Chains A and B, each alone.
Chain A
Amino acid sequence: MTISFLLLAAITIIGTAAAMTLKNLVHCVLALSLGLVGLAALYLQLGAQFVGFTQILVYVGAVAILAAFAIMMTRSADPTASNAAASFRASGALIAVLVFAVLAWATISGTSAQPIFTAAPEGSVGQVGAALMHRFVLPLEVIGLLLTAALIGAGILAMDEHRGTR
């Protein structure tokens, strides 16, 4: 466990935990951005450069901004909005703690069938691009189709269908 891992893990956990607990929803999205930047730095630390930069571009640049716009357009940034009942919140938190306990127990007690390879692998952006263009070209086309369909679908869903009649 290195210092850089501890630092980045702390940033990620603080950011995401604040995103899920703060009252004001705009603050939540800002904290979420912090947590996602920490996660992108963890990817970079693991040697996955392309995924780290994609994480910043897609999540911090697009998803967080999209969520911020949605919060402002639905006027739900009001911190006085109703919250769940205390018993409901307690049971939700209990379920999350139990899930974490099971996952952590499995991680700590499980023995690795394979040896751990600690030699840093090569995962440069060029290699990822070559793999996307050769071995993974069909999934790449499928994901392009999916993103196009999502773009059109999101536009149609968000369009105001009664604008002409109002």
Chain B
Amino acid sequence: MNPLSDYLLLSAFLFSIGLAGALTRRNAILVLIGIELMLNAANLNFIAFWRYGPHPEALTGVMFAIFSISVAAAEAAVGLSIILAVYRHSRTTDLDKLNSMKG
């Protein structure tokens, strides 16, 4: 076991937690949080590979993580405002009750 494997295992566990949350929780906001956790697991992989890989002076992994965080922030803002719009329309954020496209 090298130090890189520790971080990769932790990242895999974080990804699984996020996946389990996104699959089992019925609230739209928590599903979005689960997706954010999966994105964070990928960011941890980027940073770990940058730290233990060749040519860290090129900063490629760090740049990937920074842009990934930016895209995740944009996704969270748009996703939460979509949830607000859906709630205003149908008065619920329960994904089991949101079962019609035309409302």
Contacts and interface: CB of A to CB of B under 8 A. Distances in A.
Contact of B4 (A25, A73, A95, A116): A116
Place the interface of chain A in its size category.
35 or more
A25 B27 contact: yes
Interface string B53-64: 110110101110
B78 to A, nearest CB: 5
A74 B19 contact: no
A39 B36 contact: no
Interface of B: 1-10, 12-21, 23-27, 29-30, 32-34, 36-37, 40, 43-44, 47-48, 50-54, 56-57, 59, 61-63, 65-67, 69-78, 80-85, 87-88, 93-94, 96
A7 interface: no
Given A1-B1, A99-B16, A146-B71, 18 more contacts: A16-B18, A20-B17, A46-B50, A63-B36, A67-B29, A67-B33, A100-B13, A100-B16, A103-B8, A117-B53, A117-B54, A122-B57, A123-B50, A123-B59, A123-B62, A131-B59, A132-B66, A139-B63
